[in-house]
Structure 1
């Protein structure tokens, strides 16, 4: 059986500053500069795809194993895997024809996609993104300044993780943003989408899934 840990946190529940942090980000546009490499990668991708093709995003795709699986699941869509690590992307295996991998910062890519008017049909966040220490709240995507851009992309959002608190906080952040169609379930990963999911399932961890429709 694989040896992997469930993230440990000293938080007894959702962070005490979650609500004020999320609401502050929802009220103010984030003005942080976009990295040049992200801008170039996005422009090259935008120039190479058909604007009429349904789009699926695999954010934080790692080595692209999840991107390949999602491309087989969404055969009529273009599945774009985004990761900031050149090393991880370099280790990607061959992809289906309807998949692409892009090296970019997620916070950059999401804002560029919103500016370009992209509206993915599906958006997957399969990396667990725990940042379990209370001082790391703003590194969790739901409490990050880029959260409004994530919402603005729309589509069907899906998160998976073995860290229940992360999923619970994300659901609360969506509620603060007025997103009504949110579902959270625990599940068995009989057919894992990502390497993380496979590792945690093999370790006997309880896995959690959040889905939401972003209007």
Structure 2
């Protein structure tokens, strides 16, 4: 396992679609993704905590006129998605290795069209709130980098985390969001485009229902 991880770290260093510390563009990419990475002025879509990039790559296959960026601190994971995209010739895919709380170091205001959060670690209520990807601090960052009316999507199997996320949005004054606690049997099922992460496959096989919400962030919600 250690050797496999080591090989993936080396792979990240040579793949052009991976940005990480000490590689070109890493320190200057803010506000310039379409100019320097994709070379096409398409809308930017982020997958936060992307793991192996199932959503990043899956969406890129379906929507060639959008540019997709998977973000995760785990280099051995993003290497899998980056290699898949490279092998398939997907030029609208990139990966950024960093922590989510550094998001505004890499994306300028109004630079992003959509954000996907897919099966994040729900984090415990006691001591873990500040690391929840839908706490007010993170939500404020998302609103800053999203364009006016940009969409935030959340998928999770954790109902307590989902309830917390809904309340966090309400506390921010966000009102125009849709939500369901049983995505596959809801009117919103087509919104996730049939893409499932590895964790989602595991959870649904065990009978867990999938919670989903989406909101279009605006100056006044």
Q: Same fold (TM over 0.5)?
A: yes
Q: Are residues 205 and 110 of structure 1, via their aligned partners in 2, closer, same or farther at CA, if it must alter by over 3 Å?
A: farther
**Matching residue of 1:37:** 21
TM-score by length of 2: 0.71
2:213 matches 1:210: yes
- Secondary structure of the residue aligned to 1:180 is coil
Deviates more, 1:161-170 or 1:128-137: 128-137
1:41-75 per-residue CA deviation (whole Å, 9 max, x = no partner) reads 36357332347211111111111222110112322
The count of corresponding residues between Structure 1 and Structure 2 is: 178
Listed as ranges, the gaps of 5+ residues in structure 1 are 1-35
Contact 2:136/2:172, CA 8 A, preserved across alignment? no
What's the TM-score, normalizing by structure 1?
0.73
Q: How does 1:106-121 map to 2 (within 5 A)?
A: 106-113=100-107, 116-121=108-113
Q: Which moved more, 1:54-63 or 1:191-200?
A: 191-200
Mark the CA change 1:65 to 1:176 in structure 2 (over 3 Å): closer, same or farther: same
- The structure-2 alpha-carbon separation of the partners of 1:111 and 1:193, relative to structure 1 and needing over 3 Å to count, comes to farther
Q: 2:54 — aligned with what? A: 65
Greater RCO structure (CA 8 Å; 6+ sep): 1
* Contact 2:45–2:68 (CA under 8 A) maintained in structure 1: yes
Residue 135 of structure 1 pairs with residue 124 of structure 2: no
What is the CA RMSD across the aligned residues, in angstroms? 2.5
Mean Cα deviation higher: 144-153 or 82-91: 144-153
**Does the 8 Å CA contact 1:42/1:109 hold for their aligned counterparts?**
no
Q: Give 1:9-158 correspondences, 5 Å limit.
A: 37=21, 41=26, 43-44=28-29, 46=33, 47-50=36-39, 52-92=41-81, 93-95=83-85, 96-113=90-107, 116-143=108-135, 145-154=137-146, 155-158=150-153
2: CA distance between counterparts of 1:173 and 1:87?
Answer: 32
What are the ranges of 5 or more consecutive residues in structure 2 without an aligned counterpart?
1-19
Is the counterpart of residue 176 in structure 1 residue 161 in structure 2? no
| Contact in 2 for aligned 1:125/1:160 (Cα 8 Å) | yes
